Structure 1
Amino acid sequence: VLCSRSRVFADHDNSRSTFEICLYQDNADLCDALFRGTRRTLTVQDYMLANKAEAAFQLLQLHAEKLTVPDYIQEALAWIRE
């Protein structure tokens, strides 16, 4: 049960059902360049879903300043700061 001060944030597009999908779609060129050679049968998005911790670690270590944060995360952070 949520209290009246609580909010739930999610992407407005239901097809973007996980953080990894949103992160990939908002940063496709960057993710494709980074992970294209590390997988053989999976798409880059599927690789990121199957290797969440490793993908996140590499993205943060190598490209943190270039990442586009999904809108719903930005909205949640703005709400927290209010």
Structure 2
Amino acid sequence: MTDETETIRREMLTEINAEPGSREYLEAKHGQVWDTSELQKEFDVLGFMAPLVVASRKSDGTKGSLMFQGSPRFYFGWSPE
């Protein structure tokens, strides 16, 4: 089975990891940022395919997606469906 999104996701990973992974940098560029424990408090993760996570917001059940970087692991760019 071929993953038709693999090339796009690899390009996204390259772009995300091109800049130093500081929380401050990500907040300035993308707004709210979550570390792993913060994400677990606010969202239920339904699935992922790097660099994307599909999640449901616990407060209201809204489903959407976030992006993440590998190291340090930060999640950002919440986009409700």
TM-score (norm 1): 0.26
Greater percentage in strand: 2
Which of structures 1 and 2 has the larger relative contact order (alpha carbons within 8 angstroms, sep 6+)? 1
Larger radius of gyration between Structure 1 and Structure 2: 1
TM-score (norm 2): 0.26
